[in-house]
Amino acid sequence: MSADTFHGWAVHSKDEPMKWTELPLKEFDADAVEMKVTHCGICGSDIHTMDSGWGPTPYPCVTGHEITGTITRVGENVKKFKVGDRAGVGAQSGSCLDCEDCKRGDEHLCSKRVGTYASFWPNGDKSFGGYADKWRGHQHFVFKIPETMTNETAATFFCAGVTTYSPLKRHNVTKGSRVGVKGIGGLGHFAVMWAKAMGAEVTALSTSDRKREDAKNLGCSDYVVLSDKEGMKSRFDTFTHIIDCSYAERNNFTEIFSLLRNNGTYIVVGIPEQPLDGIPAMLIAAKQITFVGSFIGSPAAIEDMLKFADEHKVRPWLNKWKMSDAPAAVKAFREGKPRYRFVLENDQ
């Protein structure tokens, strides 16, 4: 295998199975960091992309954007990393670093951002993710792993972790906040732990009773089944924030918005493939609800999150799979089996 290629689990079309394939790495340049991948989390974004659910995917595609590993090569401009360092990368691998968004510290909103997979570098090279043995990208979007974290644990922070941490921090969740977390899954279990660590009182909002004990163990003080009409009514005007981590397109928004206090904030982080319908404009206006979305997180937010997680001992619930078993792991993921993140592990 060439030094400028890697092997990864590629999807070659929407209806084909994953295949272990040799593909080209991006061109190595002065700002490049190359890693031997040790671990990669499986994310819902991977499934949407494999299936062209959010739009056409540029196949072949190697997904995976919760990547950790050991640095094996650095470009001449790279000063903050050296060969042998443990590091990670999330859903973004590049941006222009020169526009208003980038200069403001919102690199993740850059119109020229490069996704870690299914995207293209400015020179036309395709980006590939971490269901693989190697990864190569720009130093600005690579992060040192805290000494107290293992690579397998750290991997899940780089997408699911920051996707939930960043908006809770940005919208001022703190002691005295009452946060509802809709969807106790890969994103939601992180949201519970972040909100709890920020000092909030946390309630799980779920479609069934089956995760009640998990929610309690994660830190929830209350649990509401969304189909329980009386249970919902008894929590009207309760929450300062609701973070929606799952299936927003299925919401009864009138009922869910009624759970918020006046001037409450509704945050969408679980991104559906369909537009959201049935949003009651009058209720939003009458309660002065802030209805917002949030997209991954900036490099500064990722650094802040890693420090916060280290300080407050926030750790994901995860199950490991061998990288060689990635197709089986993805199948189990599609069947809803993670509790609550799956992580692929290469042989060390």
How many CB atoms neighbour CB 307 within 10 A? Answer: 11
Coil, strand or helix at 75: coil
pTM for the whole structure: 0.97
Rg (CA), the chain: 20
Quick one: what percent of the chain has pLDDT higher than 70? 99
5-159+297-345 carries CATH number 3.40.50.300: no
What pLDDT, in 10s, does the model give residues 162-209? 999 999 999 999 999 999 999 999 999 999 999 999 999 999 999 999
Q: What is the pLDDT of residue 247?
A: 81
Domain locations along the chain = 5-159+297-345, 162-293
Could you tell me the pLDDT band of residue 3, with boundaries at 50, 70 and 90? confident
Instruction: Give Cα 169 distance to the centre of its chain.
Output: 15
**Residue with tokens 């009058």, as numbered in its chain:** 282
Any bridge partners for residue 88, and if so which?
68, 143
Q: What is the pLDDT of residue 315?
A: 98
- For residue 199, give the amino acid letter: G
Q: Is the pLDDT of residue 2 over 70?
A: no
289, with CB counted inside 10 A (0-12, 13-18, 19+), is buried
Decide whether 5-159+297-345 matches 162-293 in CATH topology: no
Q: Read out DSSP for 38-67? A: EEEEE-HHHHHHHTTTTS---SSEE----E
What pLDDT, in 10s, does the model give residues 201-250? 999 999 999 999 999 999 999 999 999 999 999 999 999 999 999 988 88
Q: What are phi and psi of 143, to 5 degrees?
A: -135, 140
pLDDT (average), residues 63-89: 98
What pLDDT, in 10s, does the model give residues 40-69? 999 999 999 999 999 999 999 999 999 999
Q: Read out DSSP for 81-141? A: --TT-EEEE-SEEE--S-SHHHHHT-GGG-TT-EESSSEE-TTSPEE--SSBSEEEEEGGG
Instruction: Give Cα 198 distance to the centre of its chain.
Output: 19
Q: What are phi and psi of 170, to 5 degrees?
A: -65, -30
Could you tell me the two tokens for 341? 């993140």
- For residue 117, give the amino acid letter: Y
Q: What is the pLDDT of residue 333?
A: 98
- For residue 184, give the amino acid letter: I
Q: What is the pLDDT of residue 248?
A: 81
Give dist(CA 16, CA 309) in Å, integer. 38
- For residue 226, give the amino acid letter: L
Give dist(CA 34, CA 25) in Å, integer. 9
**Residue with tokens 């950790």, as numbered in its chain:** 68
pLDDT (average), residues 62-80: 98
Give dist(CA 101, CA 96) in Å, integer. 10
Closest alpha carbon to 97 in 145, 144, 138:
138
Closest alpha carbon to 174 in 196, 205, 204:
196
**Mean predicted lDDT score pLDDT of the chain:** 97
pLDDT (average), residues 271-292: 95
**Residue with tokens 């293209």, as numbered in its chain:** 120
How many CB atoms neighbour CB 186 within 10 A? Answer: 29
162-293 carries CATH number 3.40.50.720: yes
Are the C-beta atoms of 87 and 33 separated by less than 8 Å? yes
More confident residue, 27 or 2: 27
Pairing of β 239-244 and β 260-268: parallel
What pLDDT, in 10s, does the model give residues 10-25? 999 998 999 999 999 9
Closest alpha carbon to 342 in 38, 70, 39:
39
Give dist(CA 234, CA 69) in Å, integer. 48
What pLDDT, in 10s, does the model give residues 107-132? 999 999 999 999 999 999 999 999 99
Q: What is the pLDDT of residue 249?
A: 84
